[in-house]
Amino acid sequence: MGANASNYPHSCSPRVGGNSQAQQTFIGTSSYSHQGYGCESKLYSLDHGHEKPQDKKKKTSGLATLKKKFIKRRKSSRSADHAKQMRELLSGWDVRDVNALVEEYEGTSALKELYLQANLARPEARTLQKDMAELYQYKYCTDVDLIFQETCFPVHRAILAARCPFFKTLLSSSPEYGAEIIMDINTAGIDMPMFSALLHYLYTGEFGMEDSRFQNVDILVQLSEEFGTPNSLDVDMRALFDYMCYYDVVLSFSSNSDLVETFGGSQNCLDEELRAHKAIISSRSPFFRHLLQRRIRTGEEITDRTLRTPTRIILDESIIPKKYAKVILNCMYTDVVDLSVLHSSPSVGSLSEVQALVAGKLNMTRAEEAMELYHIALFLEFNMLAQGCEDIIAESISLDTLIAILKWSSQPYGSKWVHRQALHFLCEEFTQVMTSDVFYELSKDHLLTAIQSDYLQASEQDILKYLIKWGEHQLMKRIADREPNLLSGTAHSVNKRGVKRRDLDIEELREILSPLLPFVRIEHILPMNSEVLSDAMKRGLISTPPSDMLPTSEGGKSNAWLRQKNAGIYVRPRLFSPYVEEAKSVLDEMMVEQTDLVRLRMVRMSNVPDTLYMVNNAVPQCCHMITHQQVSTNQSSPPSVIANEIP
């Protein structure tokens, strides 16, 4: 158990587990860039149970495919109904009004694009490369000094040995802490700035300065021959994590002895230690950096150096469960949140597992693990890990997980970024959500946020219909809660016999729906003679609008849909995809008809003169005869043509 002092600082032990690529999430490559923001959002499953037999799996996949076909057919029929309703609305409109509506939709669509980009925005997390550059600049926890041209360069033994074969051989000859090694470089033309740039390259994979000498192929070849050619930074850091060469810190976890005795846990297992490097954990986490700096100020670090033992950091497992330690360290070394490490490592009976067993949360889903790890990342101030957890949770949003993710993300300790993604999923998949049981589990606040959106993917009639159903369901729950416990489960119980719709108190139902119904855009309900709207008015849930708000013969049905024709407060129509597509289709058809009509009129009018010179050119010959004879009236002979006899 723990670290062997005789192996320090030359220990280079392989690590078991944590290297699976089955469930890796690369931070910053969220799947929301293209898919998930249209009407056909991709759903993600959270199933991580045992694999089923092959034949059963085939049957299940066949049933799932059949179910998808039915859902797709149902969606297409609904879209056809919505398109038909929009076409009926536009049937009596002028082409200019239809064009104005389409322009309104296009403007709303442009706003939606900006809205989506704003939803995806979040502070940029510091990458491994940036933290390594800061580590080289500020010299946290250095353990060896390189002397070059009478200048001291404090560096980290483990990083240089992992990145460069030359330094691996050089540093092995001086194993003591704080050793001063004089550099003797054979490559000509290497001065102090260039040597510093070379060290910066080993830390970050970039030279960090613009020097024309680095463009010289001959110099680069000479450097590679002397120092060797390093791998990419992520490959070498992965190897450093796997083998932990020159580790100088161990992480151990305190446990609750009462729980250990109760469940028969082993103290040796609970105190298992994990190896790491001070340079890495201090550069990635301000929490560990401040902790190590405090140890230096108090003199504890001197004792460890004298005894040549690695620094021991004891963590409270109730705050940082040991099962997440490898995931955290893996992210510190690689910028990858790999939850498969949790399932590949053997169970060690840790305190967190005992607590999970007591709480009945032993089989957690991937999203739940990411939520728990997110809180640890905030505690460690490790933003890269936090954003990786956010990406995992966002990818896990589906009908089955929507309610849990909305509840978690809306809490003060939840992620506001994840909350925005969950609300976006709710708006995009609202038609699917409102026809499922998940709809009745939505809170009033989440439902209110959704129906206030201009981008909600549902018709106003469906919104009104299912809001009333949601209110009736909430009222039934109230009635069931008010029922005395003595009658619960009996023949006279409300839960047993159910509640009829006619038994519901309209006043109480109106009270439940009063914050929601004002955001239903009643003026945009299609068809115009909606039975859902009529029924809601009859029940008194929606008041009948006054006569001056009803469509007039002058404005027709387009009053409520067009900005320039609306005399009252204009309400923008929602960007409901079937309506938008049908409006564009109707406009295209109208434009074709108008073009054909104009072309036909141009053909009919082509022979009609429209200017005076055309009239002059079109005067018949007989008129010229009259004009000629009128000019010669001073002659004695009478006119030979009578005016009223002109043909």
Domain assignment present for residue 225? The answer is yes
For 121-156, where are the alpha helices, taking DSSP H only?
128-138
pLDDT confidence band for 433 (50 / 70 / 90): very high
Spell out a b/e string for 293-324, using b for 16 or more CB atoms within 10 Å of the CB, else e: eebeeeeebeebeeeebbbebebebeebbbbb
Of 302 and 212, the structure prediction assigns the larger pLDDT to 302
Domain assignment present for residue 304? The answer is yes
- Mean pLDDT of the 494-520 span: 82
Domain assignment present for residue 270? The answer is yes
**Co-location of 257 and 356 in the same domain:** yes
Of 53 and 321, the structure prediction assigns the larger pLDDT to 321
**Co-location of 369 and 255 in the same domain:** yes
Domain assignment present for residue 335? The answer is yes
Domain assignment present for residue 52? The answer is no
Domain assignment present for residue 570? The answer is no
Euclidean distance between CA atoms 635 and 641, whole angstroms: 15
pLDDT confidence band for 67 (50 / 70 / 90): very low
Structural domains counted in the chain: 3
pTM listed for this prediction: 0.77
Percent of the chain with pLDDT over 70: 68
> What was the pLDDT predicted at 604?
54
Instruction: Provide the domain limits for residue 633.
Output: 609-647
- Is the pLDDT at 75 greater than 60? The verdict is no
Last residue of a domain, one of 333, 355, 390: 390
- Of 119-133, 177-191, 318-332, 343-357, which gets the smallest average pLDDT? 343-357
> What was the pLDDT predicted at 225?
82
**Co-location of 284 and 372 in the same domain:** yes
Question: Each residue of 139-194: pLDDT tens digit?
Answer: 999 999 999 999 999 999 999 999 999 999 999 988 888 899 999 887 777 888 88
**Co-location of 202 and 290 in the same domain:** no
What is the enclosing helix (H) or strand (E) of 495?
Answer: helix 494-497
Euclidean distance between CA atoms 35 and 41, whole angstroms: 6
Last residue of a domain, one of 357, 390, 423: 390
For 245-395, where are the alpha helices, taking DSSP H only?
257-263, 267-270, 278-284, 286-298, 300-307, 325-334, 340-344, 351-359, 366-380, 383-395
Question: Each residue of 186-210: pLDDT tens digit?
Answer: 777 788 888 898 999 999 998 876 6
- Mean pLDDT of the 322-334 span: 96
**Co-location of 254 and 190 in the same domain:** no
**Co-location of 343 and 228 in the same domain:** no
Q: Do residues 254 and 314 touch, judged by C-beta distance below 8 A?
A: yes
The DSSP code for 552 is: P
**Co-location of 323 and 385 in the same domain:** yes
Percent of the chain with pLDDT over 90: 53
**């049905």: which residue's tokens?**
557
Q: Could you tell me the two tokens for 267?
A: 């103290």
Radius of gyration of the chain (CA): 39
Question: Each residue of 111-144: pLDDT tens digit?
Answer: 999 999 999 999 999 999 999 999 999 999 999 9
**Co-location of 183 and 268 in the same domain:** no
Domain assignment present for residue 271? The answer is yes
> What was the pLDDT predicted at 568?
72
- Is the pLDDT at 468 greater than 60? The verdict is yes
> What was the pLDDT predicted at 267?
43
Please provide the average confidence, as pLDDT, over all residues in the chain.
Answer: 79
Q: Could you tell me the two tokens for 583?
A: 């409006």
- Mean pLDDT of the 227-232 span: 87
CATH of the domain at 171: 3.30.710.10
Question: Each residue of 395-408: pLDDT tens digit?
Answer: 999 999 999 999 99
**How far lies 483's CA from each of 363, 470, 489, 495, 503, in Å?**
35, 20, 11, 9, 15
> What was the pLDDT predicted at 597?
73
Question: Each residue of 443-467: pLDDT tens digit?
Answer: 999 999 999 999 999 999 999 999 9
**Co-location of 211 and 343 in the same domain:** no
Question: Each residue of 583-615: pLDDT tens digit?
Answer: 999 999 999 988 877 777 666 555 555 555 555
**Farthest-apart Cα atoms in the chain, separation:** 147
